[in-house]
Amino acid sequence: MRLATITLVALLAGCGSGGRAPDQTTFTFDFAHGAQGWTTGFSDYPVGQEQFFQLDSGLRALPPPLDQSGTGILLSGINHSDDLFMFLTGHLTRLKPDQTYSFKFLVEFATNAPSGCAGVGGPPGEGVWVKVGASSIQPQPKAVAGSYSMNIDKGNQEQGGTDAIVVGNVANGLTDCFNLVYAMKTLQNTQDTFTARTDSQGTIWAIVGTDSGFEGETALYYAKIIVTVQPS
C-alpha cells in the first residue's frame, strides 16, 4: 500500500500577489514509514559481478550515531568500475497526461563520506555526485556488451543528462578522513530548472541516485524524498 503523502496546492493569484502559477503538486516520501513503492537498482558495472562489487540495498535501520529507531533505504557498493551508479526510483501518479512539468527535489540522506579527503579515483565525498531526474519510462539497467547501463540518459559522473541533473555530492562536512561518522545531509535543486513529460496516463518515474568516481565503498541511507511538480 502506498503511504506517500500527496499534497495538491492550488496557488491561485491573490489580491496584489503578482499571480503565481496554479496546480503545484508535492509528493512526500518519508522512508521512516517504509519503502512506499520505491525500488533500488545498480548500473555501470559488469554483468554477473554483483558479489565482487558488494552491492546491497533495502529498507534498514539508520546507522549510529543517528536515531536507529528510524529507517531509510540503503544503497551500498564498492566502485571497482570507477563508474558505479546506484539509484532508487518511484512512480508518481495522478498528474495530467502528456503534460510537461518542472521538478523540484529535496533529498535527505545519511552519509559517512568525509569532506576534503583523498581517495582512489577521486575523493569519497566530493567524487560521488548525487543526481535527480524523471522519465516517462521506468528507469532500469540494461545489459549491453557485457555491462549494465541505464535505459535513460542520466549523464556520466559529474555531468547530467537529458533525464537527470546533478544536485551536489555526498560529502558530509566532517573532516576526519579515518574515523568515518554518519551525518544527515539535504540537497535540493532550488535553482536548477528540470523538466520532464508525463505519459498518456498522467504518470512519471522519479529517480534519485549517485554517480561515482571514487573507487571505494559508498553506503548511503535515504531518509526522505520530496518531489514538487508544476506544469511548465
pLDDT tens-place string over residues 63-98: 999 998 999 999 999 999 888 999 999 999 999 999
> If 0-12 CB within 10 Å is exposed, 13-18 middle and 19+ buried, where does residue 193 land?
exposed
Q: Which residues contact 144 (CB under 8 A, 6 or more apart)?
A: none
Tell me the three state secondary structure of residue 143.
Answer: strand
Q: How far apart (Å, rounded) are the C-alpha atoms in residues 196 and 70? A: 32
Statement: residue 215 has pLDDT above 50: yes
Q: What is the CATH number of the domain that holds 164?
A: 2.60.120.200
pLDDT of residue 13: 28
> If 0-12 CB within 10 Å is exposed, 13-18 middle and 19+ buried, where does residue 88 land?
buried
pLDDT digits (tens, 9 = 90+) for 16-28: 334 445 689 999 9
Q: How far apart (Å, rounded) are the C-alpha atoms in residues 90 and 40? A: 9
Domain span including residue 201: 24-231
In a domain, 136, yes or no: yes
In a domain, 40, yes or no: yes
Q: How many independent structural domains does the chain possess? A: 1
**Reported pTM:** 0.90
pLDDT of residue 2: 39
Let me know how long the chain is.
Answer: 232
- In the DSSP assignment, the letter for residue 31 is G
Q: At 163, which amino acid appears?
A: D
In a domain, 88, yes or no: yes
Shortest CA distance to 13 belongs to which of 28, 23, 4, 5? 23
